[in-house]
Amino acid sequence: MTTKADIVKELYPEDLYGYAEKLTDGEIEVLQEVREALETHVRPVIAEYWENADFPFEAFKKVSEVGIMNNPKLYVDREGKRKPSELYTAFLYLELARFDASIATFYTVHGGLCYNTILIGGDDRQIEEFAPKLASFEWQGCFGLTEPDHGSDIAGGLATTARREGDNWILNGEKRWIGGADTADVIPIFARDVEDNRIKCFIVRKGAQGYEANPIPHKGSLRAIRNAHIKLEDVVVPETDRLANINGFGDVAKILVFTRADVSHIATGVTAGAFISALKYVKERDQFGRKLGGFQLVQEKLARMQANVVANIGYSVRLAELQETERPLMLNSSLAKMHNSLTMRETVAMAREVCGGNGITLESEVMRFFTDAEAIYTYEGTHEVNALIVGRELTGLGAFI
């Protein structure tokens, strides 16, 4: 008889400590369906789309049709909830990112940043309008916070403005590195109210006059994501599309607590994906008359990579459990993002090393993980910003400026 432990071991052999056994039967079934959709529909085209700097929308549609956000199997004993469990979310990001970081990043922009913005910032009417269509992927969402001149210092430096005129708001400014901004239907834009100087959020809808989004060229990381540069010139947004519960950066931070955790899970998935790809390669590649996997130096690197995977999964799982019990502290998310990104960066480097020259081609898959890790190491809080958040908690002293 096949047990849950058997299924988990088949799905995630790198999960040596069996963390995935905490998932419900329904959650595991959905993750199995995600795996099948990725392998059947996205695997044949992902390298081509990555190389061509484009996103495989049609192939990913087959993944979204699994119901990765709204499948009833995810809501057993969760009646009335708008989101699946945080543990499932952690393993969904692991599943997506161990396959490809661009796929996982597309999802975190839509199902993490945008969706959480609606749930946290919207009133009941706005949630009812936007959430179901985002959860079903009928609408694509993105997240407009970062600007050309303001990334880590966005809290105090946000320059995009909002000016109220009667029942409308007029938005002007620019945003940069906004994933999916040229194809999204729902674009939450954060802007500073010129009257009270507070940061607020406005839903710009697809086709709005004065909204322009152009993909950023010449990227060397996450090439399959169409990050865009947005220009807003007198974009009119009705008061009814201003998210009522975002009235300062403190409210924005509530969103980032969850999405920073999501990116820590993506780092876990990239760590696992690089390790799995490298392990497969060294078990098949012959050098000096024997398999590469049979050399001591290679096995030492494999052991370190495996240890990093287990450590990262442990961070992700415990963080998910804390968030599920309504303890979503920025400290916890920042610590996990800092740690998991560091071990990810070490792991992708070792994976590239053991694959030799073939590790710099898309044929070995390690190349995608190696280059994509650099973007993940940086977005949703650089290493330094997350370290300073942890340091502030440890010492009671802020060291940002």
Mean pLDDT for the stretch of residues 82-88: 97
215 to each of 55, 218, 225, how far by Cα in Å? 11, 10, 9
Residues 6+ apart with CB under 8 A from 43: 99
The percentage of residues in the chain with a pLDDT greater than 70, rounded to a whole number, is 100
Res 55: pLDDT: 97
Tens of pLDDT, residues 66-78: 999 999 999 999 9
Domains of the chain by start residue, with CATH: 4-135 (1.10.540.10), 154-247 (2.40.110.10), 250-395 (1.20.140.10)
pLDDT on residue 272: 98
Q: What is the pLDDT of residue 143?
A: 96
Mean pLDDT of the chain: 95
Specify the amino acid at residue 292.
L
| pLDDT tens string 244-299 | 999 999 999 999 999 999 999 999 999 999 999 999 999 999 999 999 999 999 99
* Predicted confidence (pLDDT) at residue 1 exceeds the cutoff of 80: no
Residue 140 is inside which H or E element, if any?
none
The residue-averaged pLDDT of 139-155 equals 91
- Whether residue 153 has pLDDT greater than 90: no
Average pLDDT, stretch 94-103? 97
pLDDT at 154 over 90: no
Neighbours of 244 (CB within 10 A): 15
Q: Which of 150-159, 196-205, 267-276 has the lowest mean pLDDT?
A: 150-159
**Structure token digits, residue 367:** 């190349």
